[in-house]
Amino acid sequence: MQPILEILSTGVGLSIQDAGRAGWRRFGVPVGGAMDRYSLAAANRLLGNRETAPALEIMLQGAKLKVLADTWLALAGADLGCGIEPWTAQRVSAGEVLTFPQARSGLFAYLAVPGGVVADHWFGSASVDARNGLGCVLRNGIRLSAMQSAPQVSTEGVSLRRLLVEDRRDFGREVTFELLRGPQYALFSESARDVLVASPWRVSARSDRTGFRLEGPTIEVPASIPSEPVLPGSFQIPGNGQPIVTMVDGPTVGGYAKLAVLRDADIDRLAQCAPGTQISFQWRD
């Protein structure tokens, strides 16, 4: 297959991601995949791909890609300052250089190519999980190919495809998330439960694909618990009283008490909260 993109710079973070590795958690393999599955699916839909097809996940800023052949590309998710507008697909020409210089809103953008990015699969997924040594880690100079030569949607006489306005997400506003009660909810004092929902929190710069750390008031921690399974979206409360929200590359077991669990559909939205973003919570009735 003819390469269509060359990596000139991986920037802060550039990786191949798809829908992840379902069904392997019992063996200690995280689900992984795109941090924002909604935006991955949106980018793929713009080209007529399967919503779960492998795409490039671009984090924050600094990535630079050279177009090697005339093709169509789609971008969804965070606005990282690229010449391709988020939530659109357009034709690009060989020789163009795509840059992602700054994060204007959101944290992760998804660049889709016709049919999906060609990549080897581990445990049924092309997703890169560098922490666990799964997937092909991208480096400068690597060339990437598309599974198909053209989009599986009509592009005749069309220069741009846009996602419907109501299907786009706004990552520039403050967010209040609804929380489900966690497995150890009853072990926390009433005042500890109240602190989580009564206080504003900020996403820590120490957050990554394994977990988002939150900075705010100290939550009183109950006695330790035996290690047990941990789902993505779990609010683990370590000894310092500062919550860690388990993300898609996070551990499958842990020994911190879990006060709350984020709804699965909201994990995508939390993933787009860049460090410093203020967020708040409320219990779901």
Q: Which of 118-122, 169-173, 201-205 shows the lowest mean pLDDT across its residues?
A: 169-173
pLDDT higher than threshold 80 for residue 285: no
DSSP 8-state code for residue 247: -
* Mean pLDDT value across residues 149-158: 86
The structural domains of the chain, with segments of one domain joined by +, span: 3-167, 175-283
pLDDT higher than threshold 80 for residue 229: yes
Q: What is the pLDDT of residue 6?
A: 98
Q: What is the pLDDT of residue 190?
A: 95
Helices (H), 146-277: 190-198, 264-271
Q: What is the pLDDT of residue 159?
A: 82
pLDDT higher than threshold 90 for residue 173: no
Name the more confident of 285 and 270: 270
Confidence band of 280 (pLDDT split at 50, 70, 90) = very high
Write the class of the CATH domain 175-283. Answer: mainly beta
Distance CA 125, CA 209 (A): 17
The secondary element (H helix, E strand) that includes residue 5 is strand 3-10
- Kindly report the average pLDDT of the chain as a whole number: 95
DSSP 8-state code for residue 192: H
Exposed / middle / buried, residue 227 (Cβ in 10 Å: 0-12, 13-18, 19+): exposed
Percent pLDDT > 70 in the chain is 100
pLDDT digits (tens, 9 = 90+) for 35-80: 999 999 999 999 999 999 999 999 999 999 999 999 999 999 999 9
pTM of the model: 0.96
Query: Residue 156: CA atoms inside 13 Å, Cβ hemisphere, count?
Result: 1
Output the DSSP codes for 99-113: E----SEEEEEEEE-
Confidence band of 88 (pLDDT split at 50, 70, 90) = very high
pLDDT higher than threshold 90 for residue 217: yes
**H helices then E strands: how many in the chain?**
3, 19
Distance CA 163, CA 113 (A): 16
pLDDT higher than threshold 80 for residue 16: yes
Q: Which of 81-90, 126-135, 213-222, 244-253 shows the lowest mean pLDDT across its residues?
A: 126-135
Q: Are 116 and 54 in contact (CB under 8 A)?
A: yes
* Mean pLDDT value across residues 201-220: 96
Output the DSSP codes for 152-176: SS--TT-SEEE--GGGS---SS-EE
Cβ-proximal residues to 189 (8 Å cutoff; 6+ apart), any chain: 220, 222
Assign residue 272 a region: left if phi > 0, alpha if psi is -120 to 50, beta otherwise? alpha
pLDDT higher than threshold 90 for residue 224: no
Q: What is the pLDDT of residue 58?
A: 98
